[in-house]
Amino acid sequence: MPGTIRLHEAASITEDIEALDRQIRERAWELSRRANRRSDGPAADWLEAERDVMWRPAVELKQEGRAFVLTAAIAGVAPEQVDLTLTPTDLLLRADLEHHHAAGDGSVHVCEFHRGRLFRAIRFPSPIQPARARASMKNGLLTVTVPMQDDGKAAAPAARRPRKR
């Protein structure tokens, strides 16, 4: 169905994070080996490599009752481009974006539109129920609502105070 946000469960997002780390590391190595290398050092190469490989949208994570609500600013991303992976403790937001300038578009002097891989991992403060997650988009904002795991315990009765005699 067009306009549908893909949500799926996984046991872990570690492999995805490690794969992205490898891509950034390889790109930083390439940058460090370029002929016209600046003397800004390895940290600058790493930061440039991160910008080349991915972009991280601004997010807000809040708790509303027994659910977490994540809002991510992803203007320009269509719902069908969004891929959400949920584990009992994490959410991984991904999308691949393209932004091109056609030959007849004139001279582009400034362009700050994102392109490439959108990648954002969020760790929840407490376990969630991935199967019950809901996602929607409106005005460039992705909203993901996911209930917290039930702890399986009934509310404990209030402790009784000993009576004074």
Task: Express each pLDDT in 4-62 by its tens digit.
Answer: 899 999 999 999 999 999 999 999 999 888 877 666 788 888 888 888 888 899 999 99
- Residue 57 amino acid letter: P
pLDDT of residue 1: 46
Which residue do the tokens 């893909």 mark? 6
Give the CATH number for residue 117: 2.60.40.790
What is the value of pTM for the model shown?
0.77
Dihedral (CA of 135, 18, 63, 153) sign: positive
Rounded to 10°, the helix 42-53/14-32 angle is: 120
Q: Is the pLDDT of residue 158 over 50?
A: no
Asked if the structure places residue 50 within a domain, the reply is no
Asked if the structure places residue 105 within a domain, the reply is yes
pLDDT of residue 159: 46
Q: Where does 7-72 have alpha helices with state H?
A: 14-32, 42-53
Asked if the structure places residue 162 within a domain, the reply is no
DSSP letter at 40 equals: S
Note down the domain range covering 135: 6-11+55-147
The structure tokens listed for 9 are 């469960």
- Alpha-carbon Rg for the chain, nearest whole angstrom, is 22
**Percent above pLDDT 90 for the chain:** 58
Q: How many domains are contained in the chain?
A: 1
